[in-house]
């Protein structure tokens, strides 16, 4: 998808005086931005499982957009809507330029990363270290809000604290400062970010979760949209959090157990999801891979995003081995899929309940 022309739009705050909507919040459920994972092909796969869950790009730095290949970073398929662009940066002028690009390209939201703790990101003066500089974040948000002129929301994703600063007052004051700059949606990872001594992976596990901090933000800022992120796995957990906040963002659980998303539209949005079965989702995904192949784009790397589709079903390991085989890289996905189904049918005993589309128990030869 390339840049699109948009009609003039009303400021988002214009709806504040309208009658309350019975529709779920646009941020009721979302999949987190994850570096090297939530690329455009991953998002297409996720959209085969859920129509309404909000999707996010990987974090893209302002420098990459201003000086790099914009089409490579920004192009996406129309089926991905609603989809948000996450930015990494701190200079107001650069953030404004990139927010305008998000608008021109047709994204539904532009999000500022104030939560990534990696040392590489810190050296770029963005991510979680920005929580120590709320005035800087506020200036960037204000510039982004002005740049998009109310046409799409400007949101911030952040932690509840940095390093050993564990007081609720820290995150409360941060949110208050940024809200005054025009941000109305905050996605809150309910852990501190330790900027020294922990890897990004350890930062997802070691600092304790403090969901109560996120709940309290909603109580203290009832007019803001507060979305909880961090450690959420089961759908019952999502339900419980939604009693306290406006939305829940799920990260690695959604990526590793993607079939879980197939129930989300019905459960959380009151509408049936797009995938009637794993078989149907697999077939639709193979169609996407086939289109890539016919367009000259290597497809095997994209296939990695779907490798968890059959988790928990007998034969899933063999299915994963088949679709991870580097010898398939020059094959047409449709032909590979047909080969897998024929092989699975031949290797499994026939019975009345046999479904040739299910994974077989033996790895392909």
**Burial status of residue 340 (CB atoms within 10 A of its CB: 0-12, 13-18, 19 or more):** buried
Residue of 116, 129, 151, 183 with catalytic role: 116
Specify whether the CB–CB gap between 47 and 80 falls below 8 A.
Answer: yes
Asked if 116 is an active-site residue, the reply is: yes
Give the span between the Cα atoms of 4 and 241, in whole angstroms.
36
* CB-CB neighbours of 203 under 10 Å: 22
Q: DSSP letter string over 45-58?
A: HHHTT-SSSBEEEE
With beta carbons less than 8 A apart as the criterion, state whether 282 and 309 touch.
yes
Classified as helix, coil or strand, 277 is coil
Going 135 to 139 to 141 to 145, the CA torsion angle's sign is: positive
Question: Of 47, 48, 66, whose CA–CA distance to 56 is shortest?
Answer: 47
Residue 94 CB coordination number (10 Å): 18
Q: How many CA atoms lie within 13 A of 73 on its CB side?
A: 21
- For 29-43, the DSSP string reads EEE---TTTSSHHHH
CA distance 129 to 266: 38
Helix axes of 278-294 and 40-47: crossing angle, nearest 10 degrees: 150
Structure letter (DSSP) for residue 234: S
**Would you name the residues annotated as active-site residues?**
116
């Amino acid at each position: 998808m390339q840049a699109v022309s948009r009609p003039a739009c009303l400021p988002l705050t214009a709806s504040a005086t309208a009658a309350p909507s019975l529709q779920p919040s646009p941020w009721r459920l979302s999949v987190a931005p994850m570096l090297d994972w939530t690329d455009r092909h991953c998002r297409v796969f996720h959209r085969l499982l859920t129509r309404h869950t909000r999707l996010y790009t990987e974090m893209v730095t302002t420098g990459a957009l201003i000086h790099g290949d914009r089409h490579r970073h920004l192009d996406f398929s129309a089926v991905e809507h609603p989809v948000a662009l996450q930015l990494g940066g701190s200079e107001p002028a650069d953030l404004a330029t990139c927010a305008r690009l998000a608008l021109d390209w047709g994204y539904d939201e532009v999000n500022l990363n104030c939560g990534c703790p990696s040392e590489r990101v810190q050296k770029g003066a963005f991510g979680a270290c920005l929580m120590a500089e709320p005035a800087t974040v506020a200036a960037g948000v204000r510039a982004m809000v002005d740049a998009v002129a109310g046409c799409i929301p400007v949101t911030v994703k952040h932690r509840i604290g940095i390093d050993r600063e564990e007081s609720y007052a820290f995150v409360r004051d941060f949110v208050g400062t940024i809200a005054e700059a025009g941000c109305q949606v905050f996605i809150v990872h309910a852990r501190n970010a330790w900027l020294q001594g922990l890897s990004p992976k350890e930062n997802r596990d070691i600092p304790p979760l403090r969901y109560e901090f996120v709940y309290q933000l909603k109580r203290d800022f009832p007019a803001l949209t507060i979305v909880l992120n961090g450690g959420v796995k089961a759908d019952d957990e999502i339900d419980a959090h939604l009693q306290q906040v406006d939305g829940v963002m799920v990260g690695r659980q959604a990526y590793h157990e993607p079939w879980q998303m197939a129930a989300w539209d019905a459960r959380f949005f009151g509408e049936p999801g797009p995938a009637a079965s794993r078989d149907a989702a697999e077939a639709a995904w193979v169609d996407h891979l086939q289109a890539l192949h016919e367009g000259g784009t290597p497809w095997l790397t994209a296939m990695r995003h779907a490798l968890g589709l059959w988790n928990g079903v007998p034969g899933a390991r063999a299915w994963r081995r088949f679709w991870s085989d580097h010898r398939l890289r020059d094959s047409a996905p449709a032909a590979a899929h047909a080969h897998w189904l024929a092989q699975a049918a031949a290797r499994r005993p026939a019975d009345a309940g046999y479904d040739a589309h299910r994974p077989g128990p033996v790895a392909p030869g």
